[in-house]
Amino acid sequence: MAGGDDEGANCGPWRRRMGPLPLVGKLSGRRALRVRWFDGWRPELDDALQALPEMESCPHELFRLLMANPSPTRKRAALVSDRDGPVSIIGLRRRKRYWQLVTQWITPDAFAPARQGSLVTALESVGAHVRIPGWQGPLPASRLVRDVTAVPVNKVDLKSDFQEYWRQSGQWEFIRKAQRRTEGFAFVVDGDGAAEWTIRGWADKWRDDEHEETVVASDLLVSAGYYQSRGQHHSFLLMDGETPVAGATCFVHGDELISGVFFREREYDRNGVGTRLIELLVEWAAAQGYAKLDLGGWDAYKARWGRQDGTEWWFSICPLPQRLAQEALWWSKGKFRIARGLWRRVAQNA
């Protein structure tokens, strides 16, 4: 979640372009895997899905809903099979520079339905450049894993004296100031329309971001409704009278809360509404008995709220031909920028 008054778009580190997705099925000789591509959800995929184990945090019903949900960018499904039947269904969403799993940022700790131990092999087989963020545990032993980054994760330990930690980190000063400036504001948990207000506000704010992070907004609305009806998602609002001024969403994952998206009205920045909302969220989560609030990584301000608690891997799976094509493209673009700069200097001095 991009939280507090340091809110950002939560953009990942991926900046490079990728080649086109293969348009035809193929056989992988080493694994004898067949890949069939679908641009829409089909009965064959329903049959295959029923033959695969459900992901713990993303039941088949939700995966199907996400794949069928309209998106501002293209979605595709790769049905990976062998002679024994379905191995995996890899659901992909197009980003400007790469593809991402349709579950990315939408479901906690879920990637794609697959046979036990076959997910990485299935990802290798599709022949696409896929970005994988938030991988827990050992890095996959695959020759196609590239652009690896280890990202420290910050969490608030809700069983500890987190207020004392805030005093030590320097966050307490900002919290006290926000408390004074939001006196009389109301804190609302799971209010009607709260998740939608927050997600739509976040998407509208960052709609022109070059990394297209907000293409997931329509799917976030689907997952928020699905999980919230099952007590596995919470939304939080800070209200100035009848006016919502800041909102946050969180997924429930075991005994932890995982931050989703955050939005605040800019005209309330001087009130510290982002800081106040996170403080109230933490206090509420602790009172409910949750163990930790997972804030994620990347943004330095998160260390003021919680200590580092683990590391996750961010990487891409990219076949060698696409990788070589990308490197050639980066090289040519770099040469073009150098030449353009020299030409401008010559023109200015002429």
Per-residue pLDDT band for 252 (boundaries 50, 70, 90) equals very high
Res 247 pLDDT > 50: yes
Q: What tokens does 174 get?
A: 């900002």
- Distance, CA of 222 to CA of 115 (rounded, Å): 25
For residue 337, what pLDDT is reported?
53
Dihedral of the CA atoms 115, 119, 123, 124 (nearest 10)? -100
Q: Which residues touch 59 (CB under 8 Å, ≥6 apart)?
A: none
- Measured distance between the N- and C-terminal CA atoms of the chain, rounded to whole angstroms: 52
Lowest mean pLDDT among 19-33, 83-97, 184-198, 253-267: 19-33
For residue 299, what pLDDT is reported?
87
The reported pTM is: 0.83
- Distance, CA of 18 to CA of 322 (rounded, Å): 7
Res 237 pLDDT > 60: yes
pLDDT above 70: percentage of residues in the chain: 82
Per-residue pLDDT band for 325 (boundaries 50, 70, 90) equals low
Closest CA to 191 of 251, 243, 234, 252: 234
Per-residue pLDDT band for 8 (boundaries 50, 70, 90) equals very low
Stated as kind and residue range, the H or E segment containing 269 is: none
What is the per-residue pLDDT across 289-299, written as a single tens digit (0 to 9) for each? Answer: 999 999 998 88
- Distance, CA of 126 to CA of 22 (rounded, Å): 8
Kindly report the average pLDDT of the chain as a whole number: 86
What is the per-residue pLDDT across 149-180, written as a single tens digit (0 to 9) for each? Answer: 999 999 999 999 999 999 999 999 999 999 99
What is the per-residue pLDDT across 41-94, written as a single tens digit (0 to 9) for each? Answer: 999 999 999 999 999 999 999 999 999 999 999 999 999 999 999 999 999 999
- Please classify residue 100 by burial: count the beta carbons closer than 10 Å to its beta carbon, then call 0-12 exposed, 13-18 middle and 19+ buried: buried
Per-residue pLDDT band for 324 (boundaries 50, 70, 90) equals low
Q: Summarize the confidence of residues 120-133 as an average pLDDT.
A: 94
Per-residue pLDDT band for 32 (boundaries 50, 70, 90) equals confident
For residue 40, what pLDDT is reported?
92
Res 230 pLDDT > 90: yes
Helices (H), the chain: 43-50, 60-68, 119-125, 162-169, 171-181, 194-205, 217-228, 273-287, 320-349
Per-residue pLDDT band for 28 (boundaries 50, 70, 90) equals very low
Going along the chain from its start, the domains and CATH numbers come out as 27-151+312-349 (no CATH), 153-310 (3.40.630.30)
- Distance, CA of 111 to CA of 87 (rounded, Å): 14
Enumerate long-range contacts of 217-222, CB under 8 Å, 24 or more apart.
218/69, 218/70, 218/71, 218/72, 219/66, 219/69, 219/71, 219/93, 219/102, 219/106, 220/105, 220/106, 220/249, 220/260, 220/261, 221/195, 221/196, 222/62, 222/65, 222/66, 222/69, 222/106
Strand partners, 242: none
Per-residue pLDDT band for 11 (boundaries 50, 70, 90) equals very low
Q: What angle, 0 to 180 degrees and rounded to 10, lies between the N-to-C axes of helices 273-287 and 171-181?
A: 100
- Distance, CA of 302 to CA of 282 (rounded, Å): 13
Res 198 pLDDT > 60: yes
Phi, psi of 62 (to 5 degrees): -70, -40
Res 248 pLDDT > 50: yes
Lowest mean pLDDT among 210-214, 228-232, 239-243: 210-214
Res 13 pLDDT > 90: no
Lowest mean pLDDT among 110-114, 216-220, 315-319: 315-319
Q: Summarize the confidence of residues 142-150 as an average pLDDT.
A: 93
For residue 287, what pLDDT is reported?
98
For residue 2, what pLDDT is reported?
40
Per-residue pLDDT band for 110 (boundaries 50, 70, 90) equals very high
Are the C-beta atoms of residues 153 and 310 closer than 8 Å to each other? yes
For residue 9, what pLDDT is reported?
42
Res 321 pLDDT > 90: no
**CB count, 10 Å around CB of 282?**
22
- In one-letter notation, the amino acid at residue 258 is I
In eight-state DSSP terms, residue 22 is: P
